[in-house]
Amino acid sequence: MKQELLMWTLGLWTLLVVCAILNAILRQGVLIPSLGDAAGRALSSITLSAVILVVAYLFLSWSEIERSTGDLWLMGIIWATLTILFEFGFGHYVMGNSWDALLADYYVLKGRIWVLVLVTELVGPYLTSLLTN
């Protein structure tokens, strides 16, 4: 991955973190009180996944930076990895959440679909590139 694309990858991920924080505020303040915990969390995950796809699409349709299929997959890997590290690092060490509480969002069989966000980050750059060519 070229340095310019790496810088964009990191910058866009930072934008996604801001979007995720705003999404969390919306989830806690509006969605969960209105829809209940399960539906609020699910809608929040779907909304954030859509935001990720829009950001990836806008960047790829606007940018003239040369990138290969491998670069796009690497972008997704970087986004998903940084999100997991941020989620567990910030969530545990700054917010004080227990490891069990953090892992609860990964219990798909209990209706938690947070993993959809990570999958979207992983495949989003590649999938949206198919729409921009």
pTM to 2 decimal places: 0.93
pLDDT tens for the chain, 133 residues long, are 899 999 999 999 999 999 999 999 999 999 999 999 999 999 999 999 999 999 999 999 999 898 999 999 999 999 999 999 999 999 999 999 999 999 998 999 888 999 999 999 999 999 999 998 7
**115 with 108: CB under 8 angstroms?**
yes
Nearest by Cα to 114 from 80, 73, 89, 90:
80
- Distance of CA 27 to CAs 23, 39, 87, Å? 6, 10, 16
Question: What are the extents of the domains in the chain?
Answer: 3-132
